Amino acid sequence: MRTISRLRRQYRPEKVQVLFLAESPPESTDNEVRFFYNPRQERWDHMYRAVMAAVFPDYEYEPGQKDLWLRRFKDLGYFMIDATDTPINRVSEAERRRRLRASVQSKLSEIAALITHGTPILLVKKSVFEIFNASLREAGYNVAHERFLPFPAYGNQKKFISACRKCLRRLDRGQ
């Protein structure tokens, strides 16, 4: 957990312009910390590759370039956090939802320390959207879309990239 927090802090922009809220960091080992913000981890990195492709039209995956793209992401003011900070990718769907619901209040506090109410938030994955959308809106936050962004794996990479780009274009036009 400390490693993940340290890695995330390293790429936190001074002012968050767009906040991505994903489900959780994936289960990892001490030998291989699987995490969006780990610049040395590139295998099974669906989230990182899809987010970079959505944000940067010129993005092409090249081994060893993850730190460069994460810094560009940070320079734009983009930041990603997880709805729950403990891995839930290997638990049942019911348990995932229970843990996500249990994390809502603490995550709202974390979000309050990161952004203003007007900062756009993108919710990645159906379960995150279903559990966090109403609470974020009720708290006055700006969820930037009306439908969930699919998790960018299992054949959903193109759908995620397209939906995410659409949200970001709307934000650029001020809508």
Residue 119's domain is classified under what CATH number?
Answer: 3.40.470.10
Q: Output the pLDDT for position 1.
A: 59
Encode pLDDT of 35-67 as tens digits.
Answer: 888 888 877 788 999 999 999 999 999 999 999
Angle separating helix axes 157-172 and 46-55, nearest 10 degrees: 40
Would the pLDDT of 26 be above 90? Answer: no
CB 107 within 8 A of CB 83: yes
3-state helix, strand, coil in the chain (%, to 5): 45, 10, 45
- Tell me what the pLDDT averaged over the chain comes to: 92
Higher-scoring residue by pLDDT: 2, 149: 149
Task: Determine if the pTM surpasses 0.85.
Answer: yes
The structural domain count of the chain equals 1
Would the pLDDT of 30 be above 70? Answer: no
The Cα 155–Cα 159 span in angstroms is: 8
Average of per-residue pLDDT across 8-14: 95
Q: Output the pLDDT for position 149.
A: 95
Q: Output the pLDDT for position 6.
A: 87
Q: Output the pLDDT for position 5.
A: 85
Would the pLDDT of 175 be above 80? Answer: no
Would the pLDDT of 88 be above 80? Answer: yes
Percent of the chain with pLDDT over 90: 75
| Residue 3: pLDDT band with limits 50, 70, 90 | confident
Range of the domain at 100: 2-172
Question: Cα 163 to the chain's mean position, in Å?
Answer: 14
Q: Output the pLDDT for position 174.
A: 65
Q: Output the pLDDT for position 123.
A: 98
Among 2-6, 15-19, 62-66, 143-147, the range scoring the smallest mean pLDDT is 2-6
Give the N- to C-terminal CA distance of the chain in Å, as an integer: 37
